[in-house]
């Protein structure tokens, strides 16, 4: 029975083109696995991988992962590879309880991490994982690729204690370069510790970008030396009137470094020219009438604007973005640009021209919400699309035209990837303006063919934003993000041919022990065949 199940699933994966052609099992085509018809625990380790890899060849006897296992890192002198090995050892020690010492040099058995700059077909983040009785070899062109390989290995070792890692080869690389998650720490403030926890949760599924929505009407969350009241006063509140808070520059640096060690780039966002009440409340001089408004603790959007005609506004954005650029190693600065409802269109375009020029002057690339398409996006600017099925044809057309003019898109359709949308009417936190987003809906679409007229080559990737008007605690955060953010991870990483709800929902269900072991309070969506 067990063998039969395995053959059926392998057959499905082969039919989808997920597995390499030479899998050692015979394919049984035409099978349609349905959630619920097979307990997820019956999936063999290679079949459980999430995100689904480009190719898997299950072959030969496996590796005995046990008390004698050492982690070997190649090129003794390369500190970065050594660090990737140390982090992998730490991640594997927890569930296995094994000592897993890390040693220099790849000669000998164990888990071997080696760079091969000539390796073909792996790109910047891809890897090869080969497992057999003599050990497990991870090969990549870059340390980032080795880190991703290690995350795959974490899913192949037993859930707890020593045991066998199956024999075979995984060859893998991502479909999209940008696989992101966003968190809004402006509406409700969250600590660096909580965001680090999220980075760990995301990185294990190969998400590589963390977008931080740092400012909004309700709060300014990052210290800026040249404008200290932004954080001190503008950060001192949040939705509902709580105390809010802000991060110091050192805390921000610490988070960026932590994310960087997991090969997650941070994209910071300072939203402008709208969503700025916290800044306007902190400095009277930023207001056209010279009067500072009250701090805002409600949840309306689109009512605030920087003063477009005032030179002080441009000194402000220059100093703020200059400090942010200096703190941020990644290539993008996100300048928002959404819902500037009280800024006339011509003013908006004029303002965005100047704001984009500032970003360029600090050596960074502009990211903005897709409303920037209706103005004059700077060369190379990346647009983040947050439309949905009911978005007007005109709004869509502007984005399609921008893509045709060479702008790359990050797709965050609100009725698919907004993690703050309720799963269903009974979901307590969250909003529903874009409709309910069950787990299946979040997963079942193709980013490469989502916007008519936009070819896959114009899609830089996908991102799942978590807005926090109505998400105030870690429990709410994790309930809304999990398990939907795993779908985002697969949409971003796996080949188009692997996207299949029947296969995905079973692999998702098989993540349950891992999510439980990590203490993640995920939503037990009724459309997923959980074991319990």
Active site residues: 339
Residue choice 238, 265, 415, 469 for contact with ligand NGO (CB under 6 A): 469
Name which of 332 and 493 has its Cβ closer to ligand NGO.
332
Distance (Å, whole) CA 339 – CA 461: 23
Residue 380 phi, psi dihedral angles, 5° rounding: 85, -10
Interaction of residue 220 with ligand NGO, rule CB under 6 A = no
Q: Name the residue number minimizing CB distance to ligand NGO.
A: 467
* Cβ contact 439:527 at 8 Å: yes
Name which of 469 and 512 has its Cβ closer to ligand NGO.
469
A 10 A CB-CB count for 119 gives 18
Number of residues that bind ligand NGO (CB under 6 A): 10
Query: Which residue(s) pair with 115 in the sheet?
Result: 140
Interaction of residue 338 with ligand NGO, rule CB under 6 A = yes
Query: For ligand NGO, what does the binding mask look like between residues 222 and 261, x meaning CB under 6 A?
Result: ----------------------------------------
* Cβ contact 177:409 at 8 Å: no
Interaction of residue 339 with ligand NGO, rule CB under 6 A = yes
Name which of 418 and 523 has its Cβ closer to ligand NGO.
418
Nearest approach, Cβ of residue 232 and ligand NGO (Å): 24
Nearest approach, Cβ of residue 219 and ligand NGO (Å): 12
Name which of 91 and 277 has its Cβ closer to ligand NGO.
277
Residue choice 147, 198, 227, 418 for contact with ligand NGO (CB under 6 A): 418
* Cβ contact 147:204 at 8 Å: no
Q: C-alpha 414: how far from its chain's center?
A: 15
Distance (Å, whole) CA 321 – CA 354: 12
Residue choice 205, 227, 351, 386 for contact with ligand NGO (CB under 6 A): 386
Residue choice 65, 127, 176, 467 for contact with ligand NGO (CB under 6 A): 467
A 10 A CB-CB count for 513 gives 15
* Cβ contact 202:106 at 8 Å: no
SS3 content of the chain, % helix, strand, coil (to 5): 35, 15, 45
Angle between helices 249-261 and 192-203 (to 10 degrees): 10
Name which of 73 and 218 has its Cβ closer to ligand NGO.
218
Tokens (6 digits) for 49: 């991988």
Name which of 80 and 339 has its Cβ closer to ligand NGO.
339
Nearest approach, Cβ of residue 301 and ligand NGO (Å): 5
**Number of residues that make up the chain:** 532
Interaction of residue 395 with ligand NGO, rule CB under 6 A = no
Interaction of residue 189 with ligand NGO, rule CB under 6 A = no
Interaction of residue 369 with ligand NGO, rule CB under 6 A = yes
Nearest approach, Cβ of residue 271 and ligand NGO (Å): 8
Name which of 86 and 339 has its Cβ closer to ligand NGO.
339
Query: For ligand NGO, what does the binding mask look like between residues 345 and 364, x meaning CB under 6 A?
Result: --------------------
DSSP element (H, E) containing 6: helix 2-15
Which residues in 63-122 contact ligand NGO (CB under 6 A)? none
Interaction of residue 420 with ligand NGO, rule CB under 6 A = yes
Q: C-alpha 194: how far from its chain's center?
A: 15
Query: For ligand NGO, what does the binding mask look like between residues 2 and 41, x meaning CB under 6 A?
Result: ----------------------------------------
Interaction of residue 301 with ligand NGO, rule CB under 6 A = yes
Nearest approach, Cβ of residue 341 and ligand NGO (Å): 11
Tell me the three state secondary structure of residue 415: helix
For residue 238, which of 277, 194, 189 has the smallest C-alpha distance? 189
Name which of 50 and 421 has its Cβ closer to ligand NGO.
421
Sign of CA dihedral 259, 418, 403, 205: positive
40-55 residues labelled b (16+ CB within 10 A) or e (exposed): beebebbbbbbbbbbb
Tokens (6 digits) for 324: 């942010």
DSSP state of 247: B
Q: C-alpha 445: how far from its chain's center?
A: 17
Contact set with ligand NGO (CB under 6 A): 301, 338-339, 369, 386, 418, 420, 431, 467, 469
């Amino acid at each position: 029975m067990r063998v039969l199940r395995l053959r059926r699933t392998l057959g499905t994966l082969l039919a989808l083109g997920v597995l390499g052609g030479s899998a050692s099992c015979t394919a049984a085509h035409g099978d349609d696995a349905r959630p619920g018809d097979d307990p997820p625990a019956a999936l063999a380790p290679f079949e459980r991988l999430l995100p689904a890899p480009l190719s898997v060849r299950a072959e030969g006897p496996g590796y005995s992962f046990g008390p004698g296992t050492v982690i070997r890192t190649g090129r003794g002198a390369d500190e970065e590879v050594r660090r990737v090995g140390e982090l992998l050892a730490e991640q594997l020690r927890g569930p296995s309880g094994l000592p897993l010492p890390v040693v220099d040099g790849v000669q000998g058995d164990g888990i071997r991490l080696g760079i091969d700059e000539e390796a073909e077909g792996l790109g910047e983040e891809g890897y090869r994982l080969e497992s057999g009785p003599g050990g497990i070899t991870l090969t990549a062109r870059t340390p980032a690729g080795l880190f991703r390989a290690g995350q795959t290995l974490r899913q192949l070792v037993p859930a707890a204690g020593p045991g066998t890692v199956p024999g075979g080869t995984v060859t893998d690389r991502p479909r999209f370069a940008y696989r992101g998650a966003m968190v809004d720490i402006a509406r409700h403030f969250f600590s660096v510790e909580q965001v680090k926890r999220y980075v760990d949760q995301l990185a294990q599924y190969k998400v590589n970008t963390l977008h931080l929505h740092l400012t909004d009407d309700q709060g300014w969350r990052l210290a800026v030396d040249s404008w200290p009241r932004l954080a001190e006063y503008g950060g001192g509140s949040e939705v509902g009137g709580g105390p809010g808070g802000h991060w110091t520059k050192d805390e921000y640096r610490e988070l960026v470094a932590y994310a960087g060690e997991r090969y997650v780039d941070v994209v910071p966002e300072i939203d402008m020219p709208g969503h700025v009440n916290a800044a306007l409340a902190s400095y009277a001089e930023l207001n056209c009438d010279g009067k500072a408004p009250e701090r805002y603790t409600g949840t309306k959007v689109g009512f605030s604007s920087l003063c477009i005609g005032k030179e002080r506004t441009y000194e402000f954005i220059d100093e703020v973005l200059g400090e942010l650029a200096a703190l941020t190693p990644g290539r993008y600065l996100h300048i928002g640009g959404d819902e500037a409802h009280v800024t006339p269109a011509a003013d908006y375009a004029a303002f965005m021209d100047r704001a984009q020029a500032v970003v360029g002057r600090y050596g960074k690339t502009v990211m903005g919400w897709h409303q920037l398409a209706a103005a004059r996006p700077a060369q190379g600017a990346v647009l983040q699309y947050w439309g949905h099925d009911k978005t007007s044809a005109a709004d869509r057309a502007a984005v399609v035209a921008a893509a045709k003019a060479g702008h790359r898109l990050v797709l965050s359709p609100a009725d698919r990837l907004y993690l703050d949308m309720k799963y269903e009417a009974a979901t307590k936190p969250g909003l529903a303006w874009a409709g309910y987003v069950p787990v299946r809906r979040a997963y079942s679409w193709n980013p490469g063919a989502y916007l008519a007229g936009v070819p896959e080559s114009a899609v830089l990737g996908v991102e799942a934003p978590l807005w926090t008007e109505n998400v105030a605690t870690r429990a709410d955060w994790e309930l809304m993000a999990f398990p939907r953010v795993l779908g985002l991870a697969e949409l971003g990483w796996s080949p188009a041919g692997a996207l299949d709800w029947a296969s995905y929902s079973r692999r998702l269900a098989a993540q349950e022990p891992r999510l439980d072991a990590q203490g993640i309070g995920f939503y037990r969506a009724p459309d997923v065949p959980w074991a319990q």
